[in-house]
Amino acid sequence: MSEPEAAQPRHARASIARRVGRYATLALVALLGYVLVYGSTVVDQLDSTLAANSENVDSLVGERPDRPTDQDEGDALNILVMGSDTRTGDNAEVGGGDVSGMRNDTTMIVHIAADRSRVEAVSIPRDLQVEIPECTYKDGSTIPATSGDFNIAFSNGGLRGDPAEAAACTIKTVEQLTGIYMDHYVVVDFEGFISMVDALGGVPMCITEPIVSEKAHLELEAGPQVFDGETALAYARLRTAEEGGVSGSDLQRITRQQQLLEQVAATVLSKNLLTDTDEVTRFLRAAAESMTMDESMASTSYLVGLVYSLRDLSLDDIVFVTPPWQYTEDRLNVELLPEAAQVWDDIRNDQPISVTAEGDASSAWDDGKKEESTSSATPSSSSKSSVSPSAATTEDLLEQCR
């Protein structure tokens, strides 16, 4: 197989906001608590769905870094989370056409401390310049090693549309880059996101100004409104618009995605587990159907146990960071600063992350024309959360927008 053509850079330079991660964790706790409440019927259904979408990729990844400890209950865990924008099957229409292969919009290493005192998620920019190793498919064939944007790894593995193969190539690339063993992986796709939002009955959003985008098939009025799944996805993927002050930058798009994910989590938390059982069950099923993961993680008992082990975490114990980086000479891509090695070392040794990039998640869009082209390496710390108590209903969430 010939060496693949390098994917176009997408300028994804930011990590997911701390607040979004905290909301998402609370939502997961609530959902898995629901599974405990409703017992064997829901568990059996979810286990069946999770098992159908699970696959062990160890043989495809090949040689692995050493684990610092035996991975028994209570030891540190590293989970590689990937978002997929595959354009085939049910995802073709929502993804913008039937395009072969797969791409990933988001990649994060989620580190769970052995003593369950903290959770740290490290975002890997998809236009980070890396060495991508040879990737292996299930039939034994391979695609040659190359170098370029980090998200080429997922594309190389996903050329045949198999999320497990895409995950394996990404895992191999991340482990080569960081020297960190990935205990688990999760891949989530477009269609699943739509189903999850629709299962909740929509997501309330506050739109500050009208937005019209022919390319995104999106036309929004200003004010509080409820997004269905397709509208929510279009809003999350929006990059250009004829009206609405949309800059075209991935950074601005990430801000919209953060707002949307925040509202999705708030909506989940607003559900009453005793009275909204149908909606919550549909959401759980949609989530299970949209994810591909490793076999050991694809079990409600395992997931419930993992979340239960995190029950004593406070919001300030969950941190999202980006390793220190700088722009490449052409200012189109990014590369890691030497200080990034400390991030990987902290994770390998299960120590709190001591440095992180400053200026990427909250900085203004850099179009490559600015003189400043380097993130600074600063001590990592978690900020106090400003999260207010969750609203009781969708109407309450909308009222907060007014």
Per-residue pLDDT, averaged over 340-369, amounts to 72
DSSP code at position 351: -
Give the orientation angle of helix 190-199 with respect to helix 277-290, to 10 degrees.
180
Contact between residue 197 and residue 203 where contact means Cβ atoms under 8 Å apart: yes
Instruction: State the chain's maximal CA–CA distance in angstroms.
Output: 59
Give phi and psi for 26, each to the nearest 5: -60, -40
Q: Which of 246, 141, 134, 267 lies closest to 198, judged by CA?
A: 267
Confidence at residue 134, expressed as pLDDT on a 0 to 100 scale:
97
The amino acid at 139: D
Q: Which of 210, 200, 207 lies closest to 224, judged by CA?
A: 207
| pLDDT tens digits along 237-281 | 787 888 887 865 555 665 676 677 667 767 876 776 556 777 777
Minimum mean pLDDT range among 335-349, 350-364, 377-391: 377-391
| pTM for this prediction | 0.74
| pLDDT tens digits along 26-74 | 555 555 555 555 556 677 888 888 999 999 999 999 999 987 654 445 6
Which range has the top average pLDDT, 172-176, 201-205, 395-399? Answer: 172-176
Minimum mean pLDDT range among 137-141, 331-335, 371-375: 371-375
Domain residue ranges of the chain, discontinuous segments joined by +: 1-363+375-382+393-402
Minimum mean pLDDT range among 72-86, 217-231, 378-392: 378-392
Confidence at residue 281, expressed as pLDDT on a 0 to 100 scale:
77
Confidence at residue 239, expressed as pLDDT on a 0 to 100 scale:
73
Whether the pLDDT of residue 332 is over 90: the answer is no
Confidence at residue 64, expressed as pLDDT on a 0 to 100 scale:
93
Rounded Cα distance between 230 and 87, Å, is 15
Confidence at residue 22, expressed as pLDDT on a 0 to 100 scale:
57
DSSP code at position 15: P
Task: Identify the CATH number of the domain defined by range 1-363+375-382+393-402.
Answer: 3.40.630.190
Per-residue pLDDT, averaged over 144-170, amounts to 94
Contact between residue 122 and residue 343 where contact means Cβ atoms under 8 Å apart: yes
Confidence at residue 98, expressed as pLDDT on a 0 to 100 scale:
44
Could you give the C-alpha distances from 112 to 76, 96, 173, 266, 344, in angstroms and in order? 6, 36, 21, 23, 14
DSSP H or E run through 378: strand 376-379
Query: Where would I find the beta strands (DSSP E) of 229-323?
Result: 291-293, 318-321
